[in-house]
Amino acid sequence: MEAATVAAALGFLLLAGVGGSSVDEAREETVVRALVVASGAAASRGQLPPASSPGDAHPSPHSNNGLELQKTESLRRNWWPSSPIEISSLPPVTYSTPASTCRYRYYQNVCTQSYSFVWWDWARWEKEIDWMALNGINLALAWNGQEAIWQRVYLALGLTESEINEYFTGPAFLAWGRMGNLHTWGGPLSRFWHLKQIYLQHRILDRMRSFGMIPVLPAFAGHVPKALTRVFPQMNVTRLSSWGHFNCSYSCPYLLAPEDPMFPLIGSLFLWELIKEFGTNHIYGADTFNEMQPPSSQPSYLAAITTAVYEAMIAADPDAVWLLQGWLFQHQPEFWGPDQVKAVLRAVPLGRLLVLDLFAENQPVYSRTDSFYGQPFIWCMLHNFGGNHGLFGSLEAVNQGPRAARLYPNSTMVGTGIAPEGIGQNEVVYTLMTELGWRKDPVPDLVAWVTGFADRRYGLSQEDAKEAWKLLLRSVYNCSGKACVGHNRSPLVKRPSLKINTTVWYNRSDVFEALLLLLKAAPNLTTSLAFRYDLVDITRQAIQEMVSLYYEEVKISYRKKDLILLLQAGGILAYELLPVLDEVLATDKRFLLGSWLEQARAMAVNETEAQFYEQNSLYQLTLWGPEGNILDYANKQLAGLVEDYYAPRWRLFLETLAGSLAQSIPFKQKEFDKNVFQLEKSFVLSKKRYSSQPQGDTVDLTKKVFLKYYPRVVNGSL
């Protein structure tokens, strides 16, 4: 069968097969399987349908393409909500083209799509892409709109619209649907959602390509809807185990066997449809075993499933390069021994697999896999989990890491990357990492660098501000060792218990001293929006530290059975600190729950959809599942969230502890968890509207907070 015949037959299938419930299923399956065989024969003769021309006009991933900034318009754009650029203060621009030591400067994590990008409109995406251009990013994920493409493919394969709707997750959980971890939860996706995402993807790709960036498109990883087994009952699938404490109503994905002839068909159908819609730059991302254990540890199986994913790619695009997140090797090291890792990495021709060493600043994989056994890799900084707020960084490890990887014996490192689960926090860390993409060696003096960062950030050299950043560098941004994980586990944002660990790697007094210095600098810097953001953020951190200290007092008083001291410490924590934190956060639009939810509502076409998106967003911020399955993983400190979610939990906890002491009965955590879950769920299901307008003056309020609590910290008189 000639290539044209195969293409025509597949096109007929894509059109005629939709909704064809009266078609004889056995006959249809026979036709499909025959097409697979024919496609394979055509591929062996190099006669597969070529990738569509739009992609061919764009830069090849095999070239060392640099970025050309487009005049000064990009300077109007900012990534971080904390640091907008004031155009009037910009000096004349002198263009130069610095030479990067890295072929690739990568950006994003699959999870970023859900934790940060999910509700973005085009205006926000344009700012992001322009920030990418300004920082030399030349390789990034572009995964919007893929569910609309999958919908076309699934309809063509005989699924009904209701089956497809039941399979897709809701918008806030799409990242884990795309990696196979979840299905159904938080869904369905509306027709309007699909249309908007297709529109956004076209705009995103046009902008990225105009800067010479390489967009990484999604590919088929092997996961299929259960409903496909209705259409193709002979299809060979394995049901994987559950993920993230979800039951099989929302997890336990079906994985297609690598030898099943449906594997290359589904994979190539998806890519053909995707390329037809969006063009291609020939790099594709797929993650088959993200935080999920494969059904077999046999190297032969792992090699076969890897080969199947790759061959499905090249069936549609012979120039395909596979971008693989290396998180699986780091996340389950007990499963992924040398033989298992080799089986995956060597199943793809050298140079056609590009691995992201995703958490290299903390737990690099390249150093225990002989530089990924010869496959090229990108040294990535992950830094943040869940998009949490909280001052955190391992700046020295980040600074030294890329050079160490580059100098590793027989290193195959080809780039640096930024791969946070969520953005919009700790800008200093990301500023350093983007700079390292252009450096051969580490920054020689981080103290000098961070004071320069303060000058640039505020647009004015101010000694007190620089001293504040020196204190932050030696404390919150000086974490070292494998225990350093950018996931906020403060008692403030955790479901209350008597077993929360409040240990930190820094001297808490440094945070308060840094806040004192920023307040001294305030008269000269209050016009800087970045400064005002930092003032809120560091005050937030100081209050978080106070919550931890008073929580320890609560634990001690409970164990001593001292009801008076428990009520005193608990009263300050729940009825004083948390309300004042909410008040501080409310002074800045960038720390409002209302602003967060406003983005979600803006994606909707009617009030029903707006409420649905709000609930999706609230679930992600709190319970993360119908039963608190990944509770508080994506915690944020936002005005409204503190007042109506965190504070009521702590008040219930303290009332329960006090009742326990008063009645001389033991505190029962499981019973408390059941009771507090009702509070948590009520918050998520509430239809309360939150303001997106700030209230109060940041500087005045932070001064009052500081004057009230700083003496207690200094004197140890909590």
Q: Which of 71-75, 78-82, 310-314, 560-564 has the lowest mean pLDDT?
A: 71-75
CA distance 116 to 72: 27
Cβ pair 617, 681 in contact under 8 A: no
Same domain membership, residue 426 and residue 556: no
For range 665-694, the mean pLDDT: 97
Query: Is pLDDT of 489 > 60?
Result: yes
Instruction: Strands of 47-120 (E only): list them.
Output: 104-107
Cβ pair 185, 250 in contact under 8 A: yes
For range 361-379, the mean pLDDT: 97
Q: How far is CA 401 from the centre of its chain?
A: 21
What is the pLDDT, as a whole number, of residue 93?
54
Same domain membership, residue 429 and residue 563: no
Of 437, 455, 473, the residue that ends a domain is 437
State the pairing for strand pair 377-381/353-357. Answer: parallel
Pair of tokens at residue 412: 């195959």
Q: Please give the mean pLDDT across all residues of the chain.
A: 89
For range 336-348, the mean pLDDT: 98
Q: Helix, strand or coil for residue 355?
A: strand
> DSSP string of 406-455?
HTSTT--EEEEEE--SS-SS-HHHHHHHHHHTT-SS--S-HHHHHHHHHH
Same domain membership, residue 33 and residue 130: no
Same domain membership, residue 228 and residue 318: yes
At 144, phi and psi to the nearest 5? Answer: -65, 150
Same domain membership, residue 236 and residue 306: yes
Per residue in 6-30, pLDDT (tens digit) is 333 444 344 333 333 333 334 333 4
The model carries a pTM of: 0.89
Residues pairing with 355 in the sheet? 324, 377
Closest CA to 115 of 42, 193, 178, 171: 171
Closest CA to 424 of 455, 389, 454, 456: 389
For range 361-374, the mean pLDDT: 97
Percent above pLDDT 70 for the chain = 86
Of 404, 421, 437, the residue that ends a domain is 437
For range 619-637, the mean pLDDT: 98
What b/e readout covers 36-69, taking b as 16+ CB neighbours within 10 angstroms? Answer: bebbbebbeeebbbebbeebeebbebeeebebeb
Query: Is pLDDT of 85 > 90?
Result: no
Cβ pair 216, 173 in contact under 8 A: no
What is the pLDDT, as a whole number, of residue 2?
35
Pair of tokens at residue 354: 């590009």
Same domain membership, residue 297 and residue 153: yes
Residue 513 lies in a domain: no
Query: Is pLDDT of 154 > 90?
Result: yes
Number of structural domains found in the chain: 3
What CATH number does the domain containing 532 carry?
1.20.120.670
Residue 478 lies in a domain: no
Query: Is pLDDT of 443 > 90?
Result: yes
Kindly report the three-state secondary structure assignment for every residue of 637-687: CCECHHHHHHHHHHHHHHHHHHHHHHHCCCCCHHHHHHHHHHHHHHHHHCC
What is the pLDDT, as a whole number, of residue 717?
62
What is the pLDDT, as a whole number, of residue 666?
96
Closest CA to 271 of 53, 592, 525, 51: 51
Cβ pair 181, 253 in contact under 8 A: yes
What is the pLDDT, as a whole number, of residue 176?
98
Pair of tokens at residue 201: 């993807």
DSSP state, 295? S
Query: Locate tokens 């995707």: which residue?
Result: 274
What is the pLDDT, as a whole number, of residue 80?
54
Closest CA to 384 of 28, 80, 46, 67: 80
Same domain membership, residue 44 and residue 119: no
What CATH number does the domain containing 419 carry?
3.20.20.80
H or E element, residue 574: none
pLDDT bin (cut points 50, 70, 90) of residue 95 is: low
Residue 576 lies in a domain: yes
Same domain membership, residue 370 and residue 274: yes
Pair of tokens at residue 714: 């200094």
Query: Is pLDDT of 145 > 60?
Result: yes
pLDDT bin (cut points 50, 70, 90) of residue 713 is: confident
Same domain membership, residue 544 and residue 412: no
Q: Helix, strand or coil for residue 333?
A: coil
Contacts of 313 (CB under 8 A, 6+ apart): 219, 220, 267, 271, 284, 286, 320, 322
DSSP state, 577? I
Residue 238 lies in a domain: yes
Q: How far is CA 172 from the centre of its chain?
A: 11
Please indicate whether residue 75 or residue 606 has the higher confidence score (pLDDT). 606
CA distance 442 to 524: 32
pLDDT bin (cut points 50, 70, 90) of residue 610 is: very high
Same domain membership, residue 285 and residue 176: yes
* Separation in Å, CA 144 to CA 194, 196, 322, 426, 609: 9, 9, 18, 26, 19
Q: Residue 412: count other Cβ atoms within 10 Å of its Cβ.
A: 19
Pair of tokens at residue 697: 């003056």
What is the pLDDT, as a whole number, of residue 484?
82
Residue 374 lies in a domain: yes
Residues in the chain: 718
Residue 632 lies in a domain: yes
Query: Is pLDDT of 403 > 70?
Result: yes
What b/e readout covers 234-270, taking b as 16+ CB neighbours within 10 angstroms? Answer: ebebeebebbbebeeebbbbbbbbbebbbbbbbbbbb
For range 625-634, the mean pLDDT: 97
Query: Is pLDDT of 317 > 50?
Result: yes
pLDDT bin (cut points 50, 70, 90) of residue 715 is: confident
Same domain membership, residue 264 and residue 346: yes
What is the pLDDT, as a whole number, of residue 98?
62
Per residue in 51-68, pLDDT (tens digit) is 233 334 333 333 333 333
What is the pLDDT, as a whole number, of residue 675?
98
Q: Helix, strand or coil for residue 199?
A: helix
Percent above pLDDT 90 for the chain = 83
Same domain membership, residue 157 and residue 39: no
Query: Is pLDDT of 419 > 90?
Result: yes
Residue 523 lies in a domain: no
For range 343-365, the mean pLDDT: 97
Of 381, 402, 437, the residue that ends a domain is 437
Residue 135 lies in a domain: yes
pLDDT bin (cut points 50, 70, 90) of residue 482 is: confident
For range 207-234, the mean pLDDT: 98
What residue numbers bound the domain in which 21 lies?
3-49
pLDDT bin (cut points 50, 70, 90) of residue 91 is: low
Give, rounded to a whole angstrom, the gap between the first and last alpha carbons of the chain.
81
